[in-house]
Structure 1
């Protein structure tokens, strides 16, 4: 473990795996009575409230983490997977998922002043008000460059404004079973009312990776975006993945092939990563670390989880 942070503070307010409201709505919709939850979770990893596997890792470097085997539906590693935490830019997984559900990749989006007006010290694609850019290019900027400006432009394109889009995010998250989450923006910038859990991120990410375009974006290491500015002048940008595995600056354990993932970092959220990998048996693994105390320890713990519990 690298010495780059203190042990994270204890998180409060754990929540049940299924809220009463979501349970009741599922039962009402299905007409199947008490069997509805078993049907809902047939192809999902479902775990208990206890932590597991921590003794074999440097678990103290983060506040929440989990490894989910989507083939066996097992959760061999879990730390506080139902605790509410800030997601930072891992929020953009849901933003991308919704854009692919409701948008047209070839549509041209006009970047608004609100979208372009992101803080200079935040992660942005460098979009300007009046830029004309396809939804496809925005999604690559969203997921690879982690552009907060791209996130707002996408939200406004899908829903007209970010508040309405946040409502869509919350409705969709609940429909996926992610009942411990609440979103107020499309990019994950800090807000007391913007939070999720390791388990909810697994549910959202697991739904997103069923989309082939999402997978294509997730796996991309380099991308060139070509668009025009407000005056019609051509603009070209080169974007590279913020994922150290895809960038080639971090090596996965033997037997593990990293396919892609989404990073996230803010002062409040710490260092976060949602990762899709395959083990030597060809099984898909979703591994998540939230609020690691530094980037080195984020990848240290991620590798420990994959090494110990991925194969």
Structure 2
């Protein structure tokens, strides 16, 4: 093993700050994107760091960009584990999210409630306007079945029931939503309710929504629920059969989520998810009539043009004219478990620099 190899191995074992660099021919802008790195906390437990700065811009060639139909107020496609943006068009434009809000609602409920807990539907949840699973005050239902009703049928009554069970009220739950959004990296959003019914102060961006969804996809129960096509639930002992409104599950190979949305003010919205091999993509389009086709186009662009490269492959790679990605926390790299999406055509190379 040469001196360079020895030095790389030794420093990978130690607690280090590292810089990941990408050799790229694209023009560079200053955009913040995160990537997952394996860390240890003070209890020696694994946890995830997403605090990374990347100098990057739209990473799809202009010619390919033209294949996407324009018109969305906001559109983005990211790779979930790294949060790298593979395509964007107005990703930071503020829009109304409608029922895609429920991605965040579901995530908080899953994290804070036992799925098998039986809850009683509160009066405030009965008769909520919009989509519903027809709950009545006093009905009993498990948290898990509420989540299926929330994410498959977009039940606003299920959203209010979960919010009340978690936090005791809508305002209190909204505070938790905003905290979780910021924790996920969504800094241009504000939520005031758990269902997404229109409110001038309830807004997000395609990029923020994708980041929230990427956080949700780290939870296996969330992934299982949003990828379910049909389900039997029980309300006060009565069986009900529900089907998922998300047509993407049938339209696209590998689709595994996540949520539709619509109000007159928001227009048509869709957060999409699909996994092929070790690559999980997440898309978000807000205020867009052709949401299904453009979601499929973005997913195809991602899978056709990118592949996941283990960071350990980059240890002995040398290069110049690099675009630097700075990890701004001290980390102990676990190279076998961390991958990054790069273009299949070889125009990008990973280089690891230790500082």
Decide whether the 8 Å contact of 1:67 with 1:75 is kept in 2: yes
Deviations 1:82-105 (A, max 9, x none): 111101111000000001111111
1:164 aligns with 2:172: yes
Structure with greater Cα Rg: 2
Match of 2:67 among 56, 70, 74: 56
Output aligned runs, 1:30-45, within 5 Å: 40-42=50-52
* 1:184 corresponding residue in structure 2: 192
- Whole-Å separation in 1 of the counterparts to 2:104 and 2:55: 20
Structure 1 CA distance, aligned partners of 2:111 and 2:172? Answer: 16
5+ unaligned residues in a row in structure 1: which ranges?
1-15, 19-29, 31-38, 229-233
1:259 matched to 2:262? The reply is no
CA spacing shift, 1:112–1:72, aligned 2, 3 Å: closer
**Residue in 1 aligned with 2:114?**
104
Normalized per residue, which structure has more helix?
Answer: 1
Deviation at 1:106, TM superposition (A): 1.4
Residue pair 1:57, 1:305 contacting (<8 A) in 2 also: yes
2:296 is equivalent to residue 299 of structure 1? no
1:278 to 275, 280, 288: 275
Give per-residue Cα distances to partners, 1:35-91, cap 9 Å, x unaligned. Answer: xxxx6434x98855999764221112x111111123565322101111111011110
What is the count of residue pairs matched by the alignment? 258
Aligned to 1:118: 128
1:287 aligns with 2:287: no
Q: Please say if 1:216 is aligned against 2:227.
A: no
Output the CA distance in 2 between the equivalents of 1:138 and 1:124.
11
Q: Which residue of 2 aligns with 1:27?
A: none
Aligned to 1:149: 157
CA distance in 2: counterparts of 1:67 and 1:90, whole angstroms: 16
| Higher relative contact order, structure no. (Cα contacts within 8 Å, ≥ 6 residues apart) | 2
Q: Distance in 2 between matches of 1:171 and 1:74?
A: 22
Residues 168 and 49 (structure 1 numbering): CA distance in 2 closer, same or farther, change over 3 Å? farther
Q: TM-score, normalised by structure 2?
A: 0.68
- Whole-Å separation in 2 of the counterparts to 1:224 and 1:161: 28
Please state whether the residue corresponding to 2:232 is helix, strand or coil.
strand
Give the corresponding residue for 1:238: 241
Please identify runs of 4+ aligned residues in structure 1 that moved more than 6 A. Answer: 49-52
Q: TM-score under structure 1 normalisation? A: 0.77
1:268 is displaced (CA, Å) by 0.9
Distance 2:122 2:31 in 1: 39
How far apart, CA to CA, are the structure 2 residues paired with 1:169 and 1:66? 22
C-alpha RMSD over aligned residues? 2.4
**Against the structure 1 CA distance between its residues 72 and 166, is the aligned structure 2 distance closer, same or farther, given a 3 Å change threshold?**
closer
Change (3 A) 1:150 1:170: same
- CA deviations over 1:7-60 (Å, ceiling 9, x no partner): xxxxxxxxx977xxxxxxxxxxx9xxxxxxxx6434x98855999764221112
CA distance in 1, matches of 2:58, 2:302: 19
